[in-house]
């Protein structure tokens, strides 16, 4: 007996199907596209076009291409015959001459400590080219010419001690696709920008041969496991926010454990963080991003609570009945607050029992982890609460357990 699929399984299968259809490759690392289907038509995201410089002429069509413009029904014609050369592919002259706003580079920027001098970057993409099919045949039994994928890319070791290093060639067979690295020195850290650039010349025909598909970057330390990528609010390297806005500081305090490790250029970035770590050990770009949203679970059942707006807004509802209908909501919220305080008390550290500073002279301090200030940074964030309950203490990342 088969186990019925859950909503999570269905959602995961839908996500995987969309990833194959929009990004690819749909049929494996060495896939063959269906006859008459170029990769530009098949995959919509994750591709880099050749970088055209100002003044570069666009490819000129040949006589056959000019004829195609007069015959719109042949623009998306199917590849037939065995294919004597790349000119037999499916791309029309109209598509080749059309200007493109597509990206020619994909990159990621991140921060590492100043003592990190070298990193490993792995670039990967799919290169498509016309080839004789091993599967598809014409009506005469001859192999068709189709677009076939070949895995491309490689691994390079980048030097962070050079501010402007020369471009790195990732794949010796495709020297036009290069990795460019820029490094800026900051106090205690280095800001690194890595970009994969499609610097190949634009071919006169078959432009898809110079495009990269399913493009991605992966960045790690030299050993592939060290956690060297710093979050934007790293406890050891972050600085106090340059603002006197109490609300902004309070939000920074609330979200101190949520860190952004990298920013993507024409892509998103997934950061892999080990359990209990504050820094990431691997960064991976993706052109088909996904995110897990925490599920909000309602608390205990609130018996007697009325949420029917038609009933609550009825002019026939007396004042006492309205209070009675909404009272369970206030009672339940008060109970939840009591549970939260009980949990804080069980995790209280000795630092939280120290005398609170004077609110008028003690500023709110930025959470800095275990090496932070001796005074709890949240004690000055809510003086009204502390005055209402002198024994209450509010934890911060430096004086409360996770």
Write a three-state SS string for the chain: CCCCCCHHHHHHHHHHHHHHHHCCCCCCCCCECCCCCCHHHHCCCCCECCCCCCCCCCCCCCHHHHHHHCCHHHCCCCCCCCCCCHHHCCCCHHHHHCCCCCCCEEEEEEEEECCCCEEEEEEEEEEEEEEEEEEEECCCCCEEEEEEEEEEEEEEEEECCCCECCCEECCCCCCCEEEEEEEEEECCEEEEEEEEEECCCCCCCCHHHHCEEEEEEEEECCCCCCCCECCCCCCCCCCCCCCCCHHHHHHHHHCCCCCCCEEEECCEEEEEECCCCCCEEEEEEECCCCCCCCCCCCCCCCCCCCCCHHHHCCCCCCHHHHHHHHHHHHHHHHHHHHHHHHHHHHCECHHHHCCCCCCCCCCCCCCCHHHCCCCCCCCCCCHHHHHHCCCCCCCCCCCECC
pLDDT at residue 82, rounded to an integer: 34
Contact 346, 359 (CB under 8 A): no
pLDDT at residue 225, rounded to an integer: 96
pLDDT at residue 244, rounded to an integer: 78
Mean pLDDT is lowest, of 59-63, 188-192, 287-291, for 59-63
Residue 308 sits at the vertex; the CA angle it makes with 303 and 311, to the nearest 5 degrees, is 110
pLDDT at residue 364, rounded to an integer: 44
Burial of 200 (0-12, 13-18, 19+ CB in 10 A): buried
Half-sphere exposure of 291 (CA within 13 A, CB side): 5
pLDDT interval class at 348 (50, 70, 90)? low
Q: Which residue is associated with the tokens 């932070």?
A: 372
Q: Of the candidates 175, 166, 198, 172, which has an alpha carbon nearest to the alpha carbon of residue 53?
A: 198
pLDDT at 384 > cutoff 50: no
> pLDDT higher for 82 or 58?
58
Across 308-321, average pLDDT: 91
pLDDT at 25 > cutoff 80: yes
pLDDT at 399 > cutoff 80: no
pLDDT interval class at 149 (50, 70, 90)? very high
pLDDT at residue 353, rounded to an integer: 52
Report residue 66 CA to chain centroid gap: 43
> pLDDT higher for 378 or 214?
214
């Amino acid at each position: 007996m088969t186990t019925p699929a859950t909503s999570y399984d269905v959602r995961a299968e839908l996500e995987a199907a969309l990833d194959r259809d929009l990004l690819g490759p749909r049929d494996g690392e060495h896939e063959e596209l269906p006859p008459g289907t170029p990769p530009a038509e098949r995959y919509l995201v994750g591709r880099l076009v050749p970088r055209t410089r100002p003044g570069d002429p666009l490819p000129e069509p040949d006589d056959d291409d000019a004829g195609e413009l007069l015959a719109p029904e042949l623009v998306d014609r199917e590849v037939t015959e065995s294919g004597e050369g790349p000119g037999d592919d499916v791309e029309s002259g109209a598509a080749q001459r059309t200007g493109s706003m597509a990206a020619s580079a994909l990159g990621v920027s991140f921060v590492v400590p100043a003592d990190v001098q070298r990193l490993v970057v792995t670039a990967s993409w799919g290169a498509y080219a016309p080839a004789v099919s091993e599967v598809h045949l014409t009506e005469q039994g001859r192999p068709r010419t189709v677009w076939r994928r070949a895995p491309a890319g490689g691994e390079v070791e980048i030097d962070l001690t050079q501010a402007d290093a020369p471009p790195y060639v990732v794949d010796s067979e495709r020297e036009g696709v290069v990795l460019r690295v820029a490094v800026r020195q900051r106090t205690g850290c280095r800001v690194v920008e890595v970009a994969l650039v499609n610097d190949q010349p634009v071919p006169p025909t078959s432009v898809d041969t110079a495009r990269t598909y399913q493009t991605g970057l992966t960045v790690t330390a030299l050993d592939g496991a060290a956690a060297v990528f710093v979050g934007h609010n790293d406890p050891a390297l972050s600085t106090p926010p340059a603002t006197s806005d109490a609300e902004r500081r309070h939000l920074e305090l609330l979200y101190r454990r949520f860190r952004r490790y990298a920013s993507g250029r024409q892509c998103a970035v997934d950061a892999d963080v080990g359990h209990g770590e504050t820094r990431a050990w691997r960064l991976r770009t993706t052109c088909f991003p996904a995110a897990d949203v925490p599920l909000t679970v309602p608390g205990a059942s609130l018996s007697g609570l009325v949420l029917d707006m038609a009933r609550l807004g009825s002019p026939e509802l007396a004042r006492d009945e309205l209070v009675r209908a909404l009272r369970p909501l206030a009672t339940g919220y008060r109970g939840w607050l009591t549970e939260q305080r009980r949990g804080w008390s069980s995790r209280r550290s000795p630092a939280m029992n120290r005398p609170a500073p004077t609110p008028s002279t003690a500023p709110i301090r930025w959470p800095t982890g275990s090496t932070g200030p001796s005074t709890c940074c949240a004690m000055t964030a809510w003086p009204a609460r502390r005055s209402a309950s002198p024994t209450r203490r509010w934890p911060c990342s430096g004086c409360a357990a996770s």
